[in-house]
Structure 1
Amino acid sequence: MSVDDNPDAAEAVYASLTNSVRRLVDATIRSQVDLATIASVQQKIDAAADELCAALMPGSFGLPETSDGRTLTWGNAVIGVRNAFAPPLSVHHRSDGSVWTDVTLGAAYEGPAGHVHGGVCALILDHVLGAAAHKPGHPAVTGTLSVRYEAGTPLGPVHAEAHIDRVDGVKTIVVGALATSQGISVRAEGIFFHPPAAAR
C-alpha cells in the first residue's frame, strides 16, 4: 500500500510506528535494566533499523504532495507523525484568529532536572506563533523570535497559545506564551513573513 492509495491509512500506520519509537526513546532514557539486557535490546533495535533501512528515500522527507493535493508534513520536527522527536503538536484555531495547543513533554525533552529544555520551549513557541501568522496557501516563515523565560517549565502537560499582535507592511508580529498548571513560564514575540511561493 502506498501513501497515494490511502493517505489516512498510511498516516495511521506511520503514527503507530512513531509512537512505538517514542516509547522506546523514553524507555532508553529511564530504563534501569541490567547491562546484559541493554546489549540484547540493542541487537533487536539494530535488526529493526536494518529492516527499515532496506528502502530509504534520499535526503530529507521534505513536503511531498499526494495525488489528491495533500501536503505531507510527516517529517516535521514539531508536528511530524513520522518524526519521533516531534512531541507532536496539534494546533487548534479559534474564530478570532488565535491558536493554541496542549501537549505532554516527557523525559526526551528534559534540560534542567525535571524541566523542559529551554530550546524545546522556543521550538514549540516558534511553531505556534508561525501557525498564528499562517495564511491559507501562504505559510509564514520566521524572521526573528524573541523568547523570555519567566520560570522553569516542568515536564508534563504544557499549553501554548499565540495571536497576531499587529501587521507592519510585510511583517506580521505575533505574540504568545507557554504555560503549565503553575502559570506562564515562557513568553515570545516573533516577526513573520510570507514569501512568494517560488521562494519556499
Structure 2
Amino acid sequence: MLDFTLEDLSAEDVERLRLIYRPLTESVRELIDATIRTAADAETVAAAKAQIDAATAALRSEQLDGPFGVRFTAHGDRMPWGNAVIGLRNPIAPPLQVRHEDDGRVSAEFTLGAAYEGPPGHVHGGVAAMILDHVLGESASPAHSPRLTGTISMRYLRPTPLGALHVEAAIVRTEGVKTYAAGFISDAEGPTVQAEGVFIRPKWARD
C-alpha cells in the first residue's frame, strides 16, 4: 500500500507515482497488442491467461473506490491519469503528449496500433473522434478554466491508417461562454479527419 495519499501531492510524490505506475501501464498496453495479434497455441494461451488472472488478483488487492478521476498536486497541477486519451495509468490511452504552442495551437504526435483498428489496417472512426474531441477541448480550455464539449462535428476525408499520426487544433473564436475550435488528424500524406466543435464553460466554472 502507498505510504501517502493521492491528494495534494508534492512534485517528489508525483514522480514516485510515475516510476511505479507508468511501466505497469506500458506493459499492459503491450499485453493488449499481444492479445490481439498472438498466434500462440492453446496451451500457451491457457498458461498466459493463468498468469494474467494471477496478476489481476494481485493488483486488485488494494484498489481505489471508483475511477481515478482528476487528482491535483499541492501546486494545483492536474493529474488526469485515468483519461482515455492522455492517461498515464490508462493502457487504452495511446497516450497523447499534448503540446501547447506559442501561437495558441495544441498538437501531438502519436501512434495507433492494433487496439484501435476499425476498417482493416485503419483507425476506427470513433477513436479518431475521441482524440479530436479531447484535443479540440484542450485548445478551447485555458489553464484552470475548463470548457466542456457542447457539440462536435466530424468530416472523414479518407481512412486514417494505423501507425504514426499527428493531431492539432486551435480556437476559431469565443462568444461569451462558448468557444469554437477546429482541428484535424493527419498522416504523412496530409489530413484524414477534420473536426469542428463548440465548447462551453460550465456554470460551476463561471465567475
**TM-score greater than 0.5 by the shorter chain:** yes
- Residue 112 of structure 2 corresponds to 105
| Corresponding position of 1:141 | 148
- Which residue, out of 26, 42, 50, partners 2:49? 42
Select the residue among 140, 148, 159 that pairs with 2:166.
159
Question: Residue in 1 aligned with 2:28?
Answer: 21
Aligned counterpart for 1:177 among listed residues 165, 180, 184? 184
Q: Give the 3-state SS of the residue equivalent to 2:36 in structure 1.
A: helix
Q: Distance in 1 between matches of 2:77 and 2:199?
A: 24
TM-score relative to the length of structure 2: 0.91
Checking the alignment, whether the CA contact within 8 Å between 1:138 and 1:197 is kept in structure 2 is: no
1:132 equivalenced with 2:139 (yes/no): yes
- Partner AA of 1:8 in structure 2: E
TM-superposed CA distance for 1:118, in Å, is 0.3
Partners of 2:155 and 2:64 lie apart in 1 by: 39
CA contact (8 A) 1:87 1:105 kept: yes
Q: 1:192 aligns with which of 178, 182, 199?
A: 199
Q: 2:14 aligns with which of 7, 15, 33?
A: 7
Shift of 1:167: 1.5
5 Å-filtered alignment, 1:40-79, equals 40-79=47-86
1:92 partnered with 2:99 = yes
2:37 paired with 1:30: yes
CA distance in 2, matches of 1:13, 1:117: 31
Please state if 1:123 is matched with 2:130. Answer: yes
Amino acid at match of 1:127: H
Distance in structure 2 (CA, Å) of the matches to 1:27 and 1:101: 25
AA matched with 1:75: G
- Secondary structure in 2 matching 1:6: helix
Unaligned runs of 5+ in 2: none
Q: Tell me how far apart the structure 1 counterparts of residues 190 and 144 of structure 2 sit (CA, whole Å).
A: 35
| Per-residue deviation, 1:68 | 4.2
Deviation at 1:198, TM superposition (A): 5.9
Tell me if the contact between 2:146 and 2:205 (Cα under 8 Å) persists in the aligned partners.
no
1:66, distance to aligned residue in structure 2 (A): 3.4
Change (3 A) 1:41 1:154: same
Q: Which runs of 4+ in 1 moved over 3 A?
A: 1-5, 66-70, 196-199
CA distance in 1, matches of 2:14, 2:136: 28
Q: Which moved more, 1:134-143 or 1:23-32?
A: 134-143
8 A Cα contact 1:102 1:157, kept in partner:
yes
Identity of aligned residues (%): 49
